[in-house]
Amino acid sequence: MHAPDIFDQRDDDGVVIVLDENPPADQTDNARKAEAACPALAIHIEE
Interface with other proteins (CB under 8 A)? 1, 9, 11-15, 33, 36, 39-41
Distances (CA, A) of 21 to 4, 25, 40: 13, 12, 18
Q: How far is 45 from 13, CA to CA, in rounded Å?
A: 23
State whether residue 37 is helix, strand or coil: helix
In whole angstroms, how close is the CB of 37 to other proteins at the nearest point? 8
User: Which of residues 24 and 39 has its CB atom nearest to other proteins in the complex?
Assistant: 39
In whole angstroms, how close is the CB of 13 to other proteins at the nearest point? 5
In whole angstroms, how close is the CB of 23 to other proteins at the nearest point? 18
